[in-house]
Amino acid sequence: MKTKKQPTVIAFSTQKGGVGKSTFTTLIASILHYRMGYQVAVFDCDFPQYSLLQMRERDLKIVMQNEVLKKIAHKQFTTINKKAYPIFQSKTDKVLEEMKTYVNDNEITPDVIFLDLPGTVNTAGILKTLTNVNYIFSPITADRVVLESTLSFTDVLTNILMKENQTEIRGIHLFWNQVDGRERTMLYKNYSKVILDLGLQLMETTITDSKRFRKEGEVITKMVFRSTLLPADPKLLGQCRLDQFVEEFLRIVKL
């Protein structure tokens, strides 16, 4: 993608649904845009549900109905002096062209573009789109089906396409999500060894299992976790190690 400036294109992507792709896209996009000063844009390609666009609509309603969040949002947007990051509806076979048009037509070039992609390799255009992403982060859980599908797909991207210089990918990083403290540590050690033996990158930070990942803002809440309008509360981030994840994420993508 030839542009006046190169945004870093990032996708949280696996070949399995329900492991947190859209959640991580929202959490990291909101932290970077609202708390860390980066310009962010998001392309929601998760047809047909378009979960991030739906989340934005719910977030707007919740903030308007909750007086505490309304004040927090007003203070935030006054302080940072920029709008909420845009979320565009797209499809995997059209998104590369639409990203290019957006960057070329927009006065402010985003530092980061996040793609929220469908969780199936059969989707039209998904392989071409993924090969034009700069960094792919893949959440994995200690579930054999999730691991096998993610590892086989990541192996193709890493050891075939990347080694033949057929991609824009600079790195693919797997990370443990929904880690249950009651599960055997040896289980994770064995799985981690398999990942490293395949020559794949595994992040140091593990994300603990948390019901917060399945919750959004509520009309009565005073703290935010998953929101497209506000960054997650630092206390809540720390409780599931997401603060450590953000630090490692930034070291990898070198923004």
16 has pLDDT over 70: no
Q: How far is CA 224 from its chain centroid?
A: 17
Lowest mean pLDDT among 27-41, 161-175, 208-222, 223-237: 208-222
| Count of alpha carbons within 13 angstroms of residue 184, beta-carbon side | 6
Mean pLDDT of the chain, nearest integer: 87
Can you list the domains of the chain with their CATH numbers?
A: 8-253 (3.40.50.300)
Q: Quote the crossing angle between the two packed helices 185-197 and 144-156, to the nearest 10°.
A: 20
Pick from 3, 246, 5, 7: nearest CA to 137: 246
81 has pLDDT over 90: yes
pLDDT of residue 136: 94
pLDDT of residue 78: 95
220 has pLDDT over 70: no
Give me the mean pLDDT over the 75-89 stretch: 96
Structure pTM? 0.91
Lowest mean pLDDT among 96-100, 149-153, 196-200: 149-153
